[in-house]
Amino acid sequence: MITHTMTSGLILGGLLVACDLLSSTLFSTNAFMLLLLSLAAFIIPIYCIFHFTKKFDKEILNGGISYGKALSYGFYMFFFASMIIAFFSFIYLQYINPANLDQRINMAMNAIGMLNMPEETVKKYEALLIESGPLTATSVAIGSLWEFTFRGVIISLFTSIFFRQKKREENINY
């Protein structure tokens, strides 16, 4: 299972890194393309988990996958994909575009300001953001590792339902 999930995680991670690169470089000013890439980044993981879990079930387990196996397959696939994404994030933010760290903080402050909250609340959130310390490439990479792995577990909890096997009548004892 580990070898299969490493391969599928590499593919998923590569596709999501490609979406991120396209959205942050080529199409950063085109709102329509950013919307399409965001939609793709939402659909790709769901498609991949269905496709690769089904492929694993057919090739390795001969159609006998259980809910637990499908769940663990999804977890490992997303974990390996998140390792690819975290590695890319670190390299990108540390060496290629370190100015992006400041842009992320400014975007977070702008997002807080656009929520139409009372001024006191906005100031508290901004103070909390500043108090949390400087954003580093390492913290972003570790955050993306946790975030995408957790997202994978949540998605796997739901998608694994479609792969569970029905109880066979001959195994039911009355």
- Once rounded to an integer, what is the mean pLDDT over residues 110-129? 75
**In-domain check, residue 36:** yes
**In-domain check, residue 105:** no
Domain range enclosing 79: 2-97+136-166
Please give the residue that has the higher pLDDT: either 166 or 149. Answer: 149
**In-domain check, residue 146:** yes
DSSP 33-84: HHHHHHHHHHHHHHHHHHHHHHHHHHHTSTT---HHHHHHHHHHHHHHHHHH
User: DSSP 3-state assignment of 166?
Assistant: coil
**How many beta carbons lie within 10 A of that of residue 12, not counting itself?**
27
**In-domain check, residue 151:** yes
**In-domain check, residue 129:** no
**In-domain check, residue 14:** yes
pLDDT of amino acid 169: 42
Specify the number of domains making up the chain: 1
What pLDDT digit, counting tens, does each position of 34-87 carry? 788 889 889 999 999 999 999 998 888 888 888 888 999 999 999 999 999 999
Q: Global pTM? A: 0.79
What pLDDT digit, counting tens, does each position of 129-144 carry? 777 767 788 888 998 8
Angle between helices 31-59 and 67-91 (to 10 degrees): 140
